[in-house]
Amino acid sequence: MRRVLILGGTGWLGREIARLAVAAGDSVTCLARGESGAAPAGIEFVQADRRKPGAYATLQRDWDEVIELAYEPELVQPALDALARHAAHWTLVSTVSVYASNDSLGPNEPLADETAALVHPTDMDDYGHAKAAAEAATAAALGGRENRPRLLTVRPGLIVGPGDPTDRFGYWPARLQRGGAVLAPDTQSRFVQVIDVADLAEWLVRAGRERRTGIVNAVGDVHPMADFFAQALEAVRSDADLVTAEDAWLVKHGVNYWAGPHSLPLWIPTADAGLTQRSNRRYLEAGGTLRPLHETIERSLADEVARGVDRARRSGLSSAEERELLTALARDADPGAAFSVAQRRRDNN
Ligand SMILES: NC(=O)c1ccc[n+]([C@@H]2O[C@H](COP(=O)([O-])OP(=O)(O)OC[C@H]3O[C@@H](n4cnc5c(N)ncnc54)[C@H](OP(=O)(O)O)[C@@H]3O)[C@@H](O)[C@H]2O)c1
């Protein structure tokens, strides 16, 4: 029986990895405090704070696979010191935020792959910097000529699907299903690139079993944002009417990019569109799978309905905030500042 140690396992992705590894017949141990969530069923749970001495004391055994989900240097380095020599294979879950540039691509430019330059990690409070430092520390501990390669570094892009604690992606299917006038960003020169949590977790477990090594962007296909909205509208089958506001107007009215309170999720400055234009060639060549985008939208919608579309959420606009913005937009409206997609569709027909 494979012995798998997950450094984490109580969070969203880690829990899914643990569940699938147990289902695949692995003996799974998870190390965490238990603050992010309960320990998954069917595993050995080692409850410890990795910032405290002795956290790894009971884990000094041989592991077929270690999966690291954390990135803070004070968690990553002691784990490497304590466990690297016991691990036949190590998977570090990193992020595409380690790349130095998110510049949007020109029309004929190829998608950026894993050889793109990384940030120089100087600011450990910055997520991308800390992940880049975690990558370097892990490569240093697990590399070396005497070892055969045993490190897989995985750089996911935006992870989406049922259970997403950030409430980003699900905002759109949930909001579109409610119908009516929906405040949306201009989709021109914008893209959506996501990976379903189930696809990612399944591949991470399989890649560990296959002892894959190297560096892999785990990202979905690049979809023009307009296609994403078209597929989401199709999936929810509502009378939603997208009302587009220009970037400058949204920024002026305090709407945040990407995620968090008072945001339009997935909306990023067009200059940073490279964040959503990463190559997934290696992921696909390594056997990674991607379900169709509409399936992920449908899965997210079902999850939103189950969790309650009217719950307080971590990302997006509340109904009251959106209503206020739509009223202001209508007041400011001129043909250049706002238009109704539904109206445009009617005009085009
Ligand atoms: N969400 C995205 O779109 C996205 C995109 C790219 C990459 N990623 C990466 O994907 C992974 C997602 O992992 P996840 O969903 O499982 O959640 P997570 O919260 O990122 O995982 C961190 C894990 O470490 C544990 N932990 C944190 N501090 C600890 C401490 N002091 N001692 C012991 N354990 C500690 C947490 O458990 P306790 O709190 O219970 O201790 C949790 O299980 C992360 O590596 C993230 O950076 C995410």
Q: What is the widest separation between alpha-carbon atoms in the chain?
A: 69
Look up residue 221 and give its amino acid.
D
Q: Is there an atom of ligand 1 within 6 Å of 155 CB?
A: no
Mutational pocket test of ligand 1: of 16, 56, 69, the residue with most ligand atoms within 8 Å of the beta carbon: 69
Which CA distances in Å does 159 have to 64, 267, 274, 297? 26, 15, 17, 12
The CATH architecture of the domain made up of 89-348 is 3-Layer(aba) Sandwich (3.40)
Tokens, residue 145: 């000529």
Within 8 A by CB and 6+ apart from 145, the residues are: none
Q: Is there an atom of ligand 1 within 6 Å of 300 CB?
A: no
Q: What is the rounded CA–CA span in Å between residue 32 and residue 6? A: 9
Residue 122 alpha carbon to ligand 1 centre in Å: 21
DSSP assignment letter at 213: -
Structural contact between residues 316 and 167, judged by C-beta atoms closer than 8 angstroms: yes
Quick: pLDDT tens for 214-229.
999 999 999 999 999 9
pLDDT band at residue 334 under the 50/70/90 scheme: low
Tally the C-alpha atoms within 13 A of residue 157's C-alpha that lie toward its C-beta.
28
Q: Is there an atom of ligand 1 within 6 Å of 49 CB?
A: yes
Structural contact between residues 194 and 220, judged by C-beta atoms closer than 8 angstroms: yes
pLDDT of residue 319: 96
pLDDT of residue 345: 43
Q: Is there an atom of ligand 1 within 6 Å of 10 CB?
A: yes
28-64 exposure pattern, b = at least 16 Cβ within 10 A, e = fewer: bbbbbeeeeeebbeebebbebebeeeebbeebeeebb
138 burial class (0-12, 13-18, 19+ CB within 10 angstroms)? Answer: buried
Residue 23 alpha carbon to ligand 1 centre in Å: 21
Residue of minimum CA distance from atom 19 in ligand 1: 11
Q: Is there an atom of ligand 1 within 6 Å of 151 CB?
A: no
pLDDT beyond 60 at 349: no
Quick: pLDDT tens for 125-161.
999 999 999 999 999 999 765 667 999 999 999 999 9
The atom of ligand 1 lying closest to the CA of 166 is 1
Q: Is there an atom of ligand 1 within 6 Å of 14 CB?
A: yes
What's the whole-model pTM score?
0.95
Q: What is the rounded CA–CA span in Å between residue 183 and residue 253? A: 13
Q: What is the rounded CA–CA span in Å between residue 203 and residue 222? A: 19
| Dihedral sign for Cα atoms in the order 174, 175, 176, 178 | positive
Domain definitions of the chain by residue range: 89-348
pLDDT band at residue 333 under the 50/70/90 scheme: confident
The atom of ligand 1 lying closest to the CA of 8 is 43
Q: Is there an atom of ligand 1 within 6 Å of 36 CB?
A: yes
Tally the C-alpha atoms within 13 A of residue 248's C-alpha that lie toward its C-beta.
4
Quick: pLDDT tens for 51-110.
999 999 999 999 999 999 999 999 999 999 999 999 999 999 999 999 999 999 988 899
Indicate the SS3 state at residue 147: coil
Indicate the SS3 state at residue 226: helix
Q: Is there an atom of ligand 1 within 6 Å of 224 CB?
A: no
